[in-house]
Structure 1
Amino acid sequence: MAYGSKHGATAGIAAEIGLTLRQDGFDAAVLPAGEVRDVSGYDAVILGGSLYAGHWHRDALRCAHRNADALTERPVWLFSSGPVDGSAEQEDLLPVPGAAREMERLHARGHVTFGGRVTSDTPGLLARLMVRRGTSGDYRNAEQIRDWTHQVAGELRRAA
């Protein structure tokens, strides 16, 4: 499990995915995508990236490119995190163009978008503006994350 996270919200989602996979009986490493150099030692990969202005996190994209040959040889799922509203819980959101291209290129088995988080602790001008306007919050849904991860675990079990 590798993730690209700017301010920690996506890292939190990745940690929840890793915990759920372990509870489902799988060994799961959770690593920042920028540190992942070789995925050939893993049977399957989940790669996630935060969303900013409609773009998938650069570290997630670079990880996908760096490991493209090995990723196409094993089951891969992608996730995004970012909407700072309830939209990710209300409907399946299409992946942003960068994630969609990686899905196709890597033959990913699926993609999901989870809600994101912007709070008063989030650095940056945009975050401060969102907090002032009352449009910030934590929209990560642990139950949704666990449910999706259980589905992935089920697919892995059936393929074994």
Structure 2
Amino acid sequence: MTIKVLVAYATKNWSTAEIARTISEVLCKEGLEAELRRMPDVGDVLAYDAFVLGSALYAGRWHKDARRFVRRSARALAGTPVWLFSSGPLDASAAERDIPPVPAVRRALIRLDAREHVTFGGCLKEGAKGRVARMIIRTGQGGDFRDFEQITTWAQHIGATLRGESTARQEGP
């Protein structure tokens, strides 16, 4: 049985989409069927066996599309494996230590009964949308702080977990 995983993301400047794409590609290499979608483009969630949901952090909050998705889909996701990720710190802190989820993401963890949350470094480059983003870049605080080795390792962990659970179900008691 093939395990179908939805990797859905919310982003403004597309760096979170690149993280989600990496996760999706790793899950496919792990033998799962991963589908990558922007959260506003997700239709029926009942077609999936597991979910990896991620959003960029803006002023300590998930993108509005992610917040809406959680509200809209929480009931339908009940009982399915869910992992959450955030991207945001514009420094090396996410690669150096575990960063706890911001309060709204902590509530989403509980609401979705998610298995895990991780915060990855963010990326803000020249041409980013938004007044605050442009100001951050102008002051020299932008850059790319994503650690794709860390992202790959986390996605491999998810793949191994889902494959292990699938094998256990097939073998039975």
After TM superposition, the score normalised by the length of structure 1 is 0.96
Structure 2, unpaired ranges of 5+: 1-6, 167-173
Structure 1 residue corresponding to 2:50, chosen from 41, 44, 48: 44
- Please say if 1:101 is aligned against 2:130: no
1:106-159 CA-partner distances (Å, limit 9, x unpaired): 110000001111111212222222222221101111111000001111111121
Query: What's the CA shift for 1:68?
Result: 1.1
Q: Distance in 2 between matches of 1:39 and 1:64?
A: 12
CA distance in 1, matches of 2:123, 2:100: 19
* 1:23 matched residue in structure 2: 29
The counterpart of 1:120, out of the listed 126, 146, 150, is 126
CA contact (8 A) 1:68 1:106 kept: yes
Runs (4+) of structure 1 exceeding 6 A deviation are none
Work out the CA distance in 1 between the residues paired with 2:12 and 2:136.
17
The alignment's C-alpha RMSD in Å is 1.0
Amino acid at match of 2:124: V
Is the Cα–Cα contact under 8 Å of residues 60 and 102 in structure 2 kept in the other structure? yes
The amino acid of 1:72's aligned partner reads A
Confirm or deny that 1:151 pairs with 2:157. Answer: yes
Q: How many residues align?
A: 160
Alpha-carbon distance in structure 1 between the residues aligned to 2:81 and 2:130: 36
Structure 1: runs of 5+ lacking an equivalent: none
Q: Normalised by the size of structure 2, how large is the TM-score?
A: 0.89
Report the more deviating stretch, 63-72 or 82-91. 63-72
Matched AA of 1:42: Y
Residue number in structure 2 paired with 1:34: 40
Contact 1:45–1:77 at 8 Å: present in 2 too?
Answer: yes
Q: Which of the two has higher C-alpha Rg?
A: 2
Q: Deviations over 1:10-47 (max 9, x none)?
A: 11110010011111111000000111132111010011
One-letter identity of the residue aligned with 1:151: H
